[in-house]
Chains A and B, each alone.
Chain A
Amino acid sequence: QQQVKQSPQSLIVQKGGISIINCAYENTAFDYFPWYQQFPGKGPALLIAIRPDVSEKKEGRFTISFNKSAKQFSLHIMDSQPGDSATYFCAASMGTYKYIFGTGTRLKVLA
């Protein structure tokens, strides 16, 4: 019940395309869902986050879509750029400041 399942494991997208990464969870007590971006050799950094009282959050080219009834949330990267090539992690927490991370998606955007 504590798991967060992330897919796909890897993703290749053409420049200008849309990248979509999906996550699913079981524990309905989770109340905070962040996405982290990690470049090679660096630590993860917060990209965007959402709480379950909204269905969508957009920041620039990055959008989180949240489906509370399906217990799923996804990251959409519009107009994907080579600079977006990185590993993306979804996560979930429930007010304890402890995260449960997904297994990560390695995104490669072709120029």
Chain B
Amino acid sequence: NAGVTQTPKFRVLKTGQSMTLLCAQDMNHEYMYWYRQDPGMGLRLIHYSVGEGTTAKGEVPDGYNVSRLKKQNFLLGLESAAPSQTSVYFCASTRLAAGKGEQFFGPGTRLTVL
């Protein structure tokens, strides 16, 4: 049981390049989330998904797109990277009927945009 995994762990991009971050979970969770973490700003929700084939915008969705084609995977895409997207990105998941709403986080992806 690997929990929530993220690939890659580190990435350096040039301004304007594109990339996709992959999140996978093996806990059969319905809900999945993408956050970004910046110093002094905590965790901010980018996009989330309430189930396979559905996605919704969070607090800071601009410049990002997501897809949830399979229940266990949630992809975060940057079409044209900007230096402002330099951050640590975390994926999380939770059960639909967990009751207590615990979110399980992956280890993060550190992205630098030059």
Contacts and interface: CB of A to CB of B under 8 A. Distances in A.
Contacts, number: 53
B105 A34 contact: no
A97 B33 CA distance: 10
A9 B90 CA distance: 21
B101 A43 contact: no
Contact of B42 (A32, A34, A43, A104): A104
Interface in A54-111: 89, 93, 97-99, 101-104
B101 A101 contact: no
B65 to A, nearest CB: 19
Interface residues on A, range: 20 to 34
What's the dominant secondary structure at chain B's contact region?
A: strand
B40 A98 contact: no
Interface residues of B, number: 24
Interface in B52-106: 58, 90, 92, 94, 96, 100-103, 105-106
Interface in A29-63: 32, 34, 36, 41-46, 49
Nearest to B39: A104
Interface of B: 4, 31, 33, 40-45, 48, 50, 58, 90, 92, 94, 96, 100-103, 105-108
